[in-house]
C-alpha cells in the first residue's frame, strides 16, 4: 500500500489526493473547467484554422505517398476484409507449423470479398497486394478453382501463399517498427527521410508475464540506453534521441493488489535505468498505461525523481493521457514534482492508446463511472486544456504527441515560439504532418520508434492498426471522402458544448448495462488503493464471524411449516414475490461489506472472489425477479373459435435447495430465489462448511419481506440432506455439488413407490479442458490459464483441470506458464495481495495432496506454500495422454497434455468421451476452429479466447450436461419454468349458449 511509499504532506501528494475527486466524476462536471480552458478567442480561431488547413494539405500529401496508408484506407476496420487482415496480421507470424498457418490463411482470406477491392486504390502496390489476396482466396477458398491453382503451385513445390502472406505481414511490421535491434533503428534514423527528427526508442514487448521476461526487457532497455548514449550528438537532451519505458514490461505483477511488492521493485528497476540514462545524458520517458496503474506509476516516478543521485539530470520524463479524467491534475502533479526536485521535466501529452479495452474493463467491474471520457471530442478538449497548462508551466518541458492537424495547429498558436516545446508522432503514422515544420520552420519533432523482433511486435501492431482504422481517428477521417475540411476542423469545444458534455449515449454506465431489464450489481474499484484498503480493513474488523448455526436433526417440523406456508405464498401475485427479490438484492448491496467478510472468513474466498460472490447473488435476485415478471404471467394460447386456452406457471410446493460451499452465497441465493419467485416455499440446506453466510442470507431475505415459513434454513450434513430429499412432502430438489451425490439424490427420489415423480435440477462437476492451438497468443493464454486453473484455489466447478496444448508450441507455452506461476501469491485470503488461499477443509486437503504426491514424477512445476494452513501448492502435472484424466480434482492442480495439429476434431471427441460436459476453453485465432469446437463439443459453457470462469448472470447462463448436470442453466431464461407446475385451462366459451364472438364479427373485416 502506498502509505509506506510517500509523504502525504508533500506538494505532489496533495495534488494526488485531489485527483480522486475527478477520477469517476460525471463527464459534464469534469469537462466544465476544461471547456473554459480550451475555448478559443475569435482571433485565435481564424489563425488556427488557416494553420490547420496548411497542415492538412501537408498531411494529405504525406499520406498519398505511403502505400501502407493507402492499404489501410482500402481495407478499413469496418469492412470484413479489414478485420480479416487485422486478425491475420495479429497471429500469422507466431505460428510455427505450416499446417496451422495454412488453416489460418484459409480462415482469414477465405470469406473476404477481395475482388471488390481490385484496382480501387490510388496505390499500385496496394492494387497488387489486393490481387495477391484475390489469388490467395482462390487458393484457399472455392474448391474447383482452387484445385487448378493448387496443382500449379504444388508443381513448383513452393508454399507460395504462405510465403507471400508472411512477407506481407513482415512488411507491415516494418512500417511500424524502426528496427529489429537498437543498432538497426539508430542506423535507420540517419536516413534522409528522418532528417531533422529525433527519436524516442521503445523496446517492444509489454506486460511481461514472467520474471525472466521482465529481466529480458530490462536488459534490452539497458542496452538500448547505452547504445543511444554512445550515438549522442551535441546539444541538450531535447536535441538527442531518447528512450521510452513501459513499466509493465519490467514486472509481471504490476497491479494495485501487489503494490507493496511491485512498486519498490519497479522503483529499483527504473532507478537503475535512469542512472544509465543520466550518465549518458539522454532522455528517458515513462509511458502511460492503463488507468488503474496511474497512481502506482506516479509513486514510482516520484521516488526516482527525488533521488539525489539524479539531481541535475533533466532527461527524466513521463507521459500523460488526455482521455483520462485525471489528466489535468496529473499535469499539476508533474509540475509540482519537477519544481520541488529542481528539474526541468519533459512531459509528453498523448490522448491515450487503451480506450476501448478500458471501457470494457470498467463495464465488467460494474463501476460507477468511467475514468475516461466517452466522446472523442471530450478527449480533444481535455488535450487542449492540458496543453495550455503545460505551455504555461515553469518546470515542465512540453512534448505534444499527436497526428491531428487541428490539435497541432492550436498548439502552434498558443506556443508563440518554436523552441519551448516539441511535437511527437509515431513511426509509421502522421507522415507529412511535421516534415515542413521541422525542416523549414525550426520546430522540433520526435518520432516514437519501436524496436524489436516480430515476435514482440504483435500487440503493438494491433493497437496501431486499430488506431489507424478507428472511425473517430483523425488520420482515418482524413481519407473519408464524405467529410469536408470543415467537418475535420470543427472545434471540439463546440462539439462538446453542443451535447452539454454528456456521456456518449451508446456507452451506458456499467450499472445500466442490462437496462431496461434490471440494474447491474454495483462493483467496487479494487484497483483503487484507497478502496482496497478500506475494504480490507472492513474485512479484518469482521474477523469474528460468531458461532455456527446449529445443525438440524429432525427435518419433519420444518417441512410441515414450509408445506403449511405454501398455499399463501404461492397465491401471492408474481409482482409481490418479485419485489421481495429486488428488495433482497438492494439489502445485499447495502450489507455487502458484511457478506464479503463472511465469504472471506468462512469460505476462504479472496477479496476479489468475495466481491464477485456478492455481486452474483445480487444479479441472481434481480434477474429472476425480472424473468418472473416477464415469463410467469398467464399466457393466452391459440385455438379454435369459441375456446379460451390459458397456460399458467405455478409453484409446485416445497422445494429443497442444497447448495455447495464454493459459492456459499451466490449459488445458495440463486437456487432459493428461483424457487421462491416461482411460488414455491423453500427449505434451504447450505453446505456444512458454510452455514453462517447462508444464515445471514436467510435473515436478510426475511427482512426483505419473504415470510419466515416460506424460506427456512436447515443447516446440516449429508444425513440432513438425505432426510430432506427422501421426504415425500418435498416437491422438487435443486442441488449443486458432486456427481455422486446428485445420483444418490436421484435414486432417493424414486425410492418410495407412492411418491410422485419429483423434478431434480442437478449441477455437478467436470473435467474441464482448454484447447490451445499455435495461433493463440501465449501471453493471453497464460493469463487465462492462471485465472481458470488457480483462481479460487481451483475450487470452482468451472475451473480448468486439463490443458491441451498443440505440440508445436507446448514447450514455450509451458515455460511461460511455469514462469507466471512463480508470480502467484499463496496465503491468507483476507490479505489483498493473495491470489490463492487455502482449500476448504482437511478432507479436501488430504485428497488433493494424495493425488499430487502420487503424480510427483510428473510435476512440471509446483510452488512453495506457507507451512501452516491447508494450502495445496499450485501444481502443473504432465500427462502422457489426454485420456489419462477422468476424475475431477477440485483444487489448484492443473494437468497438461499435448495434441497434434490437424486433430482438433478428434481431440474434442476424446474430451466428450470422458462423459462430463461443463466448461471448455479454446484459444485460437482460427474462426473455423471455434466453429468446429462449438459444433462438436458436448459442454454447457464454451469460452473462446478468454478465461473459463466467472459466468455472468443473464449473459452466460451456467450449467452442464452428461455427468455435469441436468440443466436448465442457472442465470438463464429456461431456469424458472423448471421450478413450476405448468397448468393449462381450456374453456369452451360457447357452452354458455352460443359463440358470441364469432357471431358479432364485422362482415367485411379489416
Ligand atoms: C510519441 C507518442 C508517444 C505515445 N505514448 C503513449 C503512451 O505512453 N501511452 C498511451 O496510452 N498512448 C501513447 N501514444 C499513443 C497515443 O495515445 C495515440 O497515438 C493518440 O491518442 C492519437 O491521437 P491523435 O491526436 O493523433 O489522433 P486523434 O484521432 O485526434 O485522437 C484519437 C484518440 O482519441 C481518443 N478517443 C478515441 N475515441 C474516443 C472516445 N469515444 N472517447 C474518448 N476518447 C476517444 C483515443 O485516445 C484515441 O487514440 C503515443 C503516441 C505518440 C505519438
355 Cα: distance to centroid of ligand 1 (angstroms): 8
The closest residue, in CA terms, to atom 25 on ligand 1 is: 402
Q: Supply the pLDDT for residue 390.
A: 98
Task: Note the pLDDT of residue 73.
Answer: 65
- Please give the mean pLDDT across all residues of the chain: 91
Tens digit of each residue's pLDDT (9 = 90 or more) over 839-866: 999 999 999 999 999 999 999 999 999 9
Pocket test for ligand 1, best of 352, 362, 429 (most atoms within 8 A of CB): 352
Ligand 1 centroid to Cα of residue 64, in Å, is: 22
What pLDDT does residue 60 have?
A: 87
Strands of 893-899's sheet in order across: 859-862, 875-878, 893-899, 802-806, 769-772, 919-923, 941-944
Catalytic residue among 627, 797, 888, 980: 797
Q: What is the pLDDT of residue 155?
A: 43
Nearest CA to ligand 1 atom 15: 353
Give ligand 1 pocket residues (Cβ under 6 A). 287-288, 319, 321, 323, 348, 350-355, 373-376, 378-379, 401-404, 407, 424-426, 448, 467, 472-474
* Cα(430) to centroid(ligand 1), Å: 12
Q: Are 889 and 789 in contact (CB under 8 A)?
A: no
Cell of 378: 471530450
Instruction: For the chain, give the number of residues.
Output: 1006
Instruction: Identify the weakest region by mean pLDDT among 88-92, 156-160, 664-668.
Output: 156-160
CA dist 469 and 78 (Å) reads 8
Closest of 542, 635, 551 to residue 591, by C-alpha: 542
Confirm whether 656 is a catalytic residue. Answer: no
User: What pLDDT is recorded for position 480?
Assistant: 78
Which position among 49, 763, 808, 888 bears the catalytic label? 763
Q: Which has the minimum average pLDDT: 115-129, 408-422, 672-686, 800-814?
A: 115-129
What separation in Å is there between the alpha carbon of 129 and the centre of ligand 1? 29
Concatenated DSSP letters for 521-560?
PP---TTSHHHHHHHHHHHHHT----PPPPPPS--HHHHH
797 classed as catalytic: yes
Round to the nearest angstrom and report the end-to-end CA distance of the chain.
73
Q: Whole-angstrom Cα distance, residue 21 to residue 14?
A: 12
Does residue 149 have a pLDDT over 50?
A: no
What is the number of the ligand 1 atom nearest to the C-alpha of 474?
29
Q: What is the pLDDT of residue 122?
A: 62
Grid cell 449459488 in the structure block, residue: 667
Q: Which SS3 state, helix, strand or coil, does residue 15 take? A: helix
What's the whole-model pTM score?
A: 0.93
Quickly state the pLDDT bin for 3 (edges 50, 70, 90).
very low
Residue 134: per-residue pLDDT: 57
- Higher pLDDT: 829 or 129? It is 829
What are the distances in angstroms from CA 413 to CA 430, 436, 706? 20, 17, 67
For residue 483, report the distance from its CA to the centre of ligand 1, in Å.
Answer: 21
Whether pLDDT at 323 is above 90: yes
Residue range 206-232: mean pLDDT, rounded: 94
- Ligand 1 centroid to residue 549 C-alpha, Å: 56
Q: Which of 203, 248, 290, 351 to mutate to test the pocket of ligand 1 (most atoms within 8 A of CB)?
A: 351
Q: Which atom of ligand 1 is nearest to the CA of 351?
A: 21
Between residues 429 and 684, the one the model is more confident about: 684
Structure confidence at residue 428 as a pLDDT band (50, 70, 90): confident
Mean of pLDDT values over 117-139: 59
Amino acid at each position: 500500500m502506498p502509505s509506506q511509499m510517500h509523504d502525504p504532506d508533500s506538494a505532489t501528494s496533495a495534488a494526488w489526493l485531489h485527483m480522486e475527486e475527478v477520477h469517476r466524476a460525471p463527464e459534464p462536471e469534469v469537462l466544465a473547467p476544461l471547456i473554459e480552458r480550451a475555448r478559443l478567442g475569435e482571433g485565435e480561431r481564424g489563425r488556427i484554422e488557416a494553420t490547420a488547413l496548411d497542415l492538412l494539405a501537408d498531411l494529405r500529401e504525406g499520406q498519398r505517398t505511403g502505400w501502407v496508408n493507402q492499404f489501410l484506407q482500402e481495407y478499413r476496420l469496418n469492412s470484413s476484409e479489414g478485420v480479416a487482415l487485422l486478425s491475420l496480421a495479429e497471429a500469422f507470424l507466431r505460428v510455427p507449423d505450416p499446417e496451422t498457418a495454412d488453416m489460418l490463411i484459409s480462415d482469414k482470406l477465405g470469406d473476404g470479398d477481395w475482388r471488390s477491392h481490385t484496382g480501387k486504390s490510388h496505390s499500385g502496390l496496394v492494387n497488387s497486394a489486393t490481387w495477391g489476396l484475390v489469388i490467395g482466396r482462390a487458393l484457399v477458398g472455392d474448391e474447383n478453382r482452387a484445385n487448378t491453382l493448387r496443382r500449379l503451385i504444388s508443381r513448383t513445390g513452393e508454399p507460395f501463399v504462405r510465403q507471400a502472406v508472411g512477407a506481407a505481414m513482415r512488411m507491415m511490421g516494418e512500417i511500424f517498427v524502426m528496427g529489429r535491434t537498437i543498432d538497426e533503428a539508430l542506423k535507420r534514423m540517419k536516413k534522409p527521410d528522418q532528417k531533422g527528427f529525433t527519436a524516442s526508442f521503445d523496446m517492444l514487448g509489454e506486460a511481461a508475464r514472467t520474471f525472466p521476461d521482465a529481466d529480458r526487457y530490462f536488459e534490452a532497455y539497458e542496452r538500448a540506453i547505452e547504445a543511444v548514449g554512445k550515438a549522442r550528438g551535441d546539444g541538450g537532451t531535447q536535441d538527442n534521441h531518447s528512450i521510452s519505458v513501459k513499466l509493465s514490461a519490467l514486472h509481471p505483477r504490476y497491479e494495485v493488489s501487489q503494490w507493496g511488492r511491485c512498486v519498490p521493485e519497479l522503483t529499483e528497476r527504473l532507478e537503475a535505468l535512469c542512472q544509465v540514462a543520466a550518465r549518458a545524458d539522454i532522455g528517458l520517458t515513462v509511458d502511460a498505461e492503463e488507468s488503474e496503474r496511474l497512481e502506482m506509476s506516479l509513486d514510482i516516478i516520484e521516488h526516482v525523481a527525488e533521488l539525489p543521485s539524479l539531481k541535475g539530470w533533466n532527461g527524466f520524463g513521463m507521459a500523460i493521457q488526455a482521455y483520462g479524467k485525471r489528466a489535468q491534475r496529473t499535469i499539476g502533479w508533474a509540475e509540482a514534482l519537477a519544481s520541488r526536485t529542481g528539474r526541468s521535466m519533459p512531459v509528453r501529452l498523448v490522448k491515450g492508446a487503451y480506450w476501448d479495452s478500458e471501457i470494457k474493463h470498467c463495464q465488467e467491474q460494474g463501476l460507477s463511472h468511467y475514468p475516461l471520457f466517452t466522446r472523442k471530442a471530450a478527449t480533444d478538449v481535455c488535450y487542449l486544456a492540458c496543453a495550455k497548462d503545460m505551455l504555461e508551466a515553469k518546470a515542465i518541458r512540453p512534448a505534444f504527441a499527436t497526428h491531428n492537424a487541428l490539435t497541432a495547429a492550436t498548439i502552434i498558436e498558443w506556443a508563440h515560439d518554436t523552441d519551448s516545446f516539441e511535437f511527437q508522432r509515431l513511426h509509421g503514422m502522421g507522415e507529412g504532418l511535421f516534415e515542413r515544420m521541422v525542416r523549414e520552420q525550426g520546430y522540433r519533432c520526435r518520432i516514437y520508434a519501436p524496436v524489436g523482433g516480430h515476435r514482440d511486435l504483435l500487440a503493438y501492431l494491433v493497437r496501431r492498426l486499430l488506431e489507424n482504422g478507428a472511425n473517430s481517428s483523425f488520420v482515418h477521417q482524413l481519407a473519408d471522402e464524405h467529410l469536408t475540411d470543415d467537418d475535420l476542423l470543427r472545434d471540439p469545444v463546440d462539439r462538446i458544448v453542443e451535447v452539454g458534455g454528456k456521456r456518449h449515449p451508446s456507452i451506458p454506465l456499467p450499472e445500466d448495462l442490462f437496462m431496461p431489464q434490471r440494474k447491474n450489481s454495483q462493483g467496487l474499484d479494487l484497483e483503487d488503493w484507497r478502496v482496497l484498503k478500506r475494504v480490507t480493513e472492513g474485512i479484518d474488523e469482521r474477523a469474528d464471524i460468531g458461532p455456527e448455526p446449529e445443525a438440524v436433526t429432525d427435518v419433519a417440523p420444518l417441512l410441515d411449516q414450509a408445506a403449511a406456508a405454501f398455499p399463501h405464498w404461492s397465491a401471492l401475485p408474481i409482482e409481490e414475490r418479485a419485489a421481495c427479490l429486488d428488495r433482497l438484492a438492494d439489502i445485499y448491496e447495502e450489507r455487502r461489506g458484511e457478506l464479503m467478510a463472511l465469504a472471506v472468513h468462512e469460505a476462504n474466498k479472496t477479496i476479489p472472489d468475495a466481491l464477485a460472490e456478492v455481486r452474483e447473488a445480487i444479479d441472481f435476485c434481480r434477474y429472476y425477479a425480472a424473468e418472473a415478471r416477464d415469463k410467469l404471467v398467464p399466457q393466452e394460447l391459440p385455438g379454435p373459435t369459441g375456446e379460451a386456452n390459458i397456460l399458467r406457471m405455478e409453484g409446485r410446493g416445497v422445494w429443497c435447495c442444497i447448495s455447495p460451499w464454493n459459492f456459499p452465497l451466490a449459488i445458495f441465493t440463486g437456487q432459493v430465489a428461483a424457487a421462491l419467485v416461482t411460488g414455491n416455499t423453500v427449505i434451504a440446506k447450505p453446505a456444512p462448511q458454510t452455514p453462517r453466510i447462508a444464515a445471514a442470507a436467510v435473515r436478510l431475505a426475511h427482512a426483505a419481506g419473504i415470510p419466515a415459513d416460506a424460506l427456512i434454513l436447515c443447516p446440516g450434513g449429508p444425513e440432513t440432506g438425505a432426510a430432506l430429499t427422501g421426504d415425500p412432502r418435498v416437491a422438487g430438489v435443486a442441488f449443486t455439488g458432486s456427481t455422486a451425490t446428485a445420483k444418490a439424490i436421484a435414486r432417493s427420489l424414486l425410492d418410495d413407490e407412492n411418491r410422485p415423480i419429483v423434478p431434480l435440477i442437478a449441477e455437478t462437476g467436470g473435467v474441464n479442458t482448454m484447447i490451445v492451438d499455435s495461433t493463440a497468443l501465449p501471453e493471453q493464454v497464460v493469463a487465462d490459464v492462471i485465472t481458470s486453473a488457480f483462481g479460487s484455489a481451483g475450487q470452482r466447478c468451472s475451473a480448468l483441470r486439463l490443458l491441451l496444448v498443440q505440440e508445436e508450441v507446448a514447450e514455450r507455452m509451458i515455460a511461460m506458464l511455469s514462469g507466471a506461476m512463480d508470480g502467484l501469491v499463496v496465503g491468507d485470503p483476507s490479505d489483498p495481495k493473495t491470489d490463492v488461499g487455502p482449500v476448504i477443509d482437511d478432507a479436501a486437503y488430504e485428497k488433493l495432496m494424495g493425488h499430487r504426491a502420487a503424480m510427483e514424477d510428473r510435476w512440471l512445476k509446483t510452488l512453495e506454500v506457507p507451512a501452516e494452513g491447508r494450502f495445496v501448492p499450485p501444481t502443473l502435472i504432465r500427462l502422457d495422454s489426454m485420456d489419462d484424466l477422468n476424475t475431477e480434482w477440485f483444487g489448484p492442480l492443473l494437468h497438461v497434455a499435448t495434441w497434434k495439429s490437424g486433430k482438433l476434431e478428434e481431440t474434442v471427441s476424446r474430451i466428450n468421451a470422458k462423459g462430463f460436459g461443463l466448461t471448455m476453453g479454446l484459444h485460437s485465432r482460427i474462426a473455423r476452429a471455434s466453429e468446429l469446437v462449438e459444433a462438436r463439443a458436448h459442454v454447457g459453457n464454451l469460452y473462446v479466447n478468454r478465461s473459463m470462469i466467472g459466468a455472468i448472470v443473464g449473459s452466460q447462463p451456467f450449467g452442464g450436461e452428461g455427468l455435469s448436470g441436468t440443466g436448465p442453466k442457472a442465470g438463464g431464461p429456461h431456469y424458472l419454468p423448471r421450478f413450476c407446475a405448468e397448468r393449462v385451462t381450456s374453456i369452451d366459451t360457447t357452452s354458455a349458449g352460443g359463440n358470441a364472438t364469432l357471431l358479432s364479427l364485422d362482415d367485411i373485416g379489416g
